[in-house]
Amino acid sequence: MAISEETVFKTALKMTVSKLKFKADKMRTLNRLSLSSISKELNDLASEQGSKFDRELTMNKIRISKLVTDDNTADVYEILMVDCELLLSRLNRLLSIKHDRKTGEIEAGADETVIKLAKKMIFASSYISIKEFRKLATLLANKFGRPFYEQALIDDSEDDFVKKCKGENVDELTEMYLKEFCETYRIDLYGEGKYEVEKGEGEASTDASTDASADAGAKTETGTEAGTEAAPASSDNAKEDHKSQTPLNDMDDLKKRFSALKRL
């Protein structure tokens, strides 16, 4: 007994969504680990000079470039996940579209969103190497015919999506990511003395906090001897402030900055 076209498409769409999600989640996790590693290397690099600095800066830019590329790829996977879910919800409309396979002409009244999604997926199949997704794109190409397939391959109506697929924004974003790394982690990469004032203020604040803690300790001891209750030390507030500025928070802030850059 032959499997129906509806079953074939439904199975392909569900398998594709599952694989895209797995790939996107894995890529996001690896990129998160890379953020911490790159920030440490850039911080160490700030103390270097000469040819060693140039060589290691180039190596870090290559790593950041890969990070940008992987971010783009994960974005594409997540976009296509949503598109597959949408196409699955409109599967009946997809299957009911009447068209001429030889000329690629589609009968008037067909769902424009479904046609747009089909073209988008066929276009992306040239850049996505996931087996399940390519099988889905092949099913769409077979359904609509060669003229439709060839037209979809050159369809660049969604500029942002096309840039992510082709990686046209990688060089620009690499330099912007590098800048955001330095600003988020206060790395004076080129020895310009950018954050000296902040460091001075931080040291002064630490000294003041130490003095305040010592005074509080002395008052506590005196109050205890006099049989009175001691006031809680103000160092607890300082500890809370310190906790709020952890590397994890810096990393979350960095990810938000990267996301904002990709929307420019």
Q: What is the mean pLDDT of the chain?
A: 81
How many whole angstroms separate alpha carbon 238 and alpha carbon 197? 20
Query: 251, 40 in Cβ contact below 8 A?
Result: no
Residue range 195-220: mean pLDDT, rounded: 55
Residue range 114-122: mean pLDDT, rounded: 95
Q: Is residue 197's pLDDT more than 90?
A: no
Q: How far is CA 179 from the centre of its chain?
A: 16
Position 65 scores a pLDDT of 94
Q: Is residue 103's pLDDT more than 90?
A: no
CA-wise closest residue to 20 among 70, 88, 76, 89: 76
Residue range 174-202: mean pLDDT, rounded: 77
Confidence of residue 7 (pLDDT cuts 50, 70, 90): very high
Position 108 scores a pLDDT of 82
More confident residue, 131 or 238: 131
126: Cβ contacts below 8 Å, ≥ 6 apart: 153, 165
DSSP class of 158: S
- Domain 5-184, CATH: 1.20.1260.60
- Is the Cα torsion angle 249, 250, 253, 258 positive or negative in sign? negative
pLDDT in tens, 225-253: 444 444 444 445 544 444 444 455 666 77
More confident residue, 1 or 174: 174
pLDDT in tens, 211-229: 555 555 555 555 544 444 4
Q: Is residue 104's pLDDT more than 80?
A: no
How many whole angstroms separate alpha carbon 175 and alpha carbon 237? 38
Query: 99, 142 in Cβ contact below 8 A?
Result: no
How many whole angstroms separate alpha carbon 67 and alpha carbon 32? 9
How many whole angstroms separate alpha carbon 94 and alpha carbon 98? 9
**Residue whose pair of structure tokens reads 């392909």 in the numeric block:** 12
Position 228 scores a pLDDT of 47
**Residue whose pair of structure tokens reads 């009244």 in the numeric block:** 109
Structure token digits, residue 140: 């769409």
| Cβ neighbours around 210 below 10 Å, total | 12
CA-wise closest residue to 219 among 206, 233, 238, 209: 233
Per-domain residue ranges of the chain: 5-184, 196-262
Position 245 scores a pLDDT of 46
How many whole angstroms separate alpha carbon 258 and alpha carbon 264? 10
88, with CB counted inside 10 A (0-12, 13-18, 19+), is: middle
